[in-house]
Amino acid sequence: MSRGFRLGLFAASAVGLAALLLWGVAGLPDFGHYAGPYGYVLNAVAPNERHVTNVVTATVFDYRGFDTLGEEFILFSAAMGVALLLRDVRDEEREPPEDGIRSDAVRLVGVALVPVLVALGLYVVAHGFITPGGGFQGGVVLASAFLVVWLAGEYRAFRRLTPTPAVDLVKGSGAGGYVVVGLAALLLGNAFLHNFGPLGTAGTLASGGSALLLNLASALEVAAAFVLIFTEFGEELVNVRLRGGG
């Protein structure tokens, strides 16, 4: 199929598809006039029932916590898939190369940034039920703290800080922990992922019941998954540099 034919086919079809999509969205309520009921019901009941202030997080880890289980495992499978696709490099078990020489200023900034990022990550995770944030966002920030160690010039340090078995362990227990919390509810005679445990006082760190554990589990899983993805990609890069390519 020639490129010209492809473009022609696409152009004609895309016009049709765009027209369809526009026709579809024209049937939506006007922007700003969300009709409900789902979201309005949750906004009305969640703060009282769940003792949380952030209804989005309550939706993510409680009302629709089962979706988030799937979401955790999407990220988990993606990290595993990346490891599988890039496995030839990983298998080679090489000694990490010497670090590139970076200026002291870069190194200093990096070293100073790490504790800030760790603290920020933990803060974002912990305040998930109160203010914007939660396991996913905090987990990525935590993973980025490790990345900064590398960018500041310490690839060896990055690898030492993230030994593969430890990352695997954290990742597996984060993802598995989510399932275990769900099964615990089952053992207590409730539905899978039923929110048990004290709900706490709205607006404090201990609010949210066992959904707090889900938040924590997903933070571990997300941080480890991102570290794993960064590591796999990083190994590729280091490998290319070793061969003098770049």
Region 31-70 residues binding another protein, contact defined as CB under 8 A: 31-48, 53-60, 62-70
Q: Which of 111, 157, 172, 184 binds another protein (CB under 8 A)?
A: 172
Q: Which of 125, 126, 141, 149 binds another protein (CB under 8 A)?
A: 141
Q: Which element (helix H / strand E) includes 174?
A: helix 164-187
Which one of the spans 85-93, 97-105, 106-114, 152-160 is the region binding another protein (CB under 8 A)? 85-93
| Positions 218 through 237 that interact with another protein (CB under 8 A) | 226, 229-230, 232-234, 236-237
Best CA proximity match to 127, nearest among 141, 115, 114: 141
How far lies 222's CA from each of 100, 163, 173, 244, in Å? 29, 16, 11, 33
Q: How far is the CB of 50 from another protein (least distance, A)?
A: 11
Helix 135-151 to helix 104-126 angle (10° resolution) is 170
Phi-psi map region of 19: left, alpha, beta (phi>0 left; psi -120 to 50 alpha): alpha
124 sits near another protein (criterion: CB under 8 A):
yes
242 sits near another protein (criterion: CB under 8 A):
no
Cβ closest to another protein, residue 27 vs residue 95: 27
Q: Which of 29, 92, 100, 101 binds another protein (CB under 8 A)?
A: 29
Question: CA–CA separation, 234 vs 33, rounded Å?
Answer: 47
Question: CA–CA separation, 50 vs 58, rounded Å?
Answer: 7
Which one of the spans 84-92, 97-105, 108-116, 154-162 is the region binding another protein (CB under 8 A)? 84-92
